[in-house]
Amino acid sequence: MTDTTILFREALQSVYGPLDWLPVPDGAIHRFRVPDDNPGTLNGWYVLYLDGIASGAFGSWKSGGASTWCSREPVDAREAEQVRQRVEQARRQREAEQQRRQLKAANLAQRWWRDARRADPDHPYLIAKGVRSHSLRQRRDELLVPLYSGGVLVNLQRIAPDGSKRFMFGGRIKGAYSPLGRITPGKPLCICEGWATGATLHESGYTVACAMNAGNLKPVALALRAEYHTTEIIIAGDDDRRTEGNPGRTAANTAAAAVGGQVAFPEWPEGAPDDLTDFNDLANWKLANGQA
C-alpha cells in the first residue's frame, strides 16, 4: 500500500462514494462495482500508473464520461508530455475494453434472440400496458426487446412480468433503438423513450423508433437523421411533471432541435393524475375513464 494509491482511491471515492479496496497501480485497466449499481455489476473502470508522475484515469461505462488524476502538477514539458501520453493510453484502453464488452453482449443477444419464442400476448407486462406483443420475443418469463444499430442487433432489453427492466451486461445502448414498423418515404417517424410508449404510438398508425431512455433520444435521432435525410421526425417525449427539471421534456426538445424535427407531448385531460408521464399512460387512463 502506498500513499499514492490511497490518494487515487480518495479521488475515486469523491465521485463514487466509499470503496473498500485499493487500486492496483499496474497500468492495466481494471473494473469495479460502482457502489450505487446493482450487485454483481462491474461498470466502473480505472487505470493507475506509478512510474514518473503518478497518474491515472477512471470512469463508468454506465454513466459515461471519464476523469483524470495526477499526484502533482508537472514541473516541465517532459513531465507534461508523459502525463498527456498516459491519458491518451488510458482512453485507448477504455475504448478497447468497451468494444470488447459490447461485442460480447451483442453475440449473446443475437443467440438469445435466435433461440427465443414469440412473446406470449398474455404476458403480464403487455396486459398491464394494454399493448400487443408486435415483434417481441420471450425467453422464459422475460420479454426480449431488440435494440439495433446500423441494422445489427446489438442489445436486448429484458422485461420481467413485474415490469422491471435490464439490458444485456455491457451491451451498447447509445444510438441503438427498437423499431416498430418500417420507415417509408412521406411518412413521419416518431422517436420515443420506452417500448410500451412506442407500441401505443405504433398502434395509432405511426412508425416508431424506441430509444429506451431520455438520454438516448438525441443519439438515436441523429443516427436516424443521418440515414433518412428527408424523413419528418417527431420526438414523442415523456412529460416528467413530478421530476425537477422535467428531464423528459428537456431531452425531447433537445433531440428535436438537433435534427430539425417536431416535438409532441401528451395532452393531459382535466382530472388526469400528475403521475402519468407518457403516451401509453395517457391511452390507458383514457380507456379506464371512458375517454378512448
pLDDT digits (tens, 9 = 90+) for 245-287: 999 999 999 999 999 999 999 999 999 999 999 999 999 999 9
pLDDT at res. 63: 84
Measured between alpha carbons, how far is 278 from 245 in angstroms, rounded to an integer? 16
Measured between alpha carbons, how far is 278 from 292 in angstroms, rounded to an integer? 15
The model's pLDDT over 191-207, given as tens digits with 9 standing for 90+, comes to 999 999 999 999 999 99
The model's pLDDT over 28-39, given as tens digits with 9 standing for 90+, comes to 999 999 998 888
pLDDT over 80 (residue 292): no
The model's pLDDT over 118-133, given as tens digits with 9 standing for 90+, comes to 999 999 999 999 999 9
Pairing of strands 152-159, 142-149: antiparallel
The model's pLDDT over 165-195, given as tens digits with 9 standing for 90+, comes to 999 999 999 999 999 999 998 999 999 999 9
Eight-state DSSP code of residue 177? B
Cβ distance 157 to 138 under 8 Å?
no
Nearest 5°: the CA angle 95, 101, 107 is 135
The C-alpha cell that represents 52 in the structure block: 514518473
Measured between alpha carbons, how far is 279 from 122 in angstroms, rounded to an integer? 21
Q: What is the pTM of this model?
A: 0.89
Q: Given the C-alpha cell 420479454, which residue does it identify?
A: 143
Mean pLDDT of the chain: 95
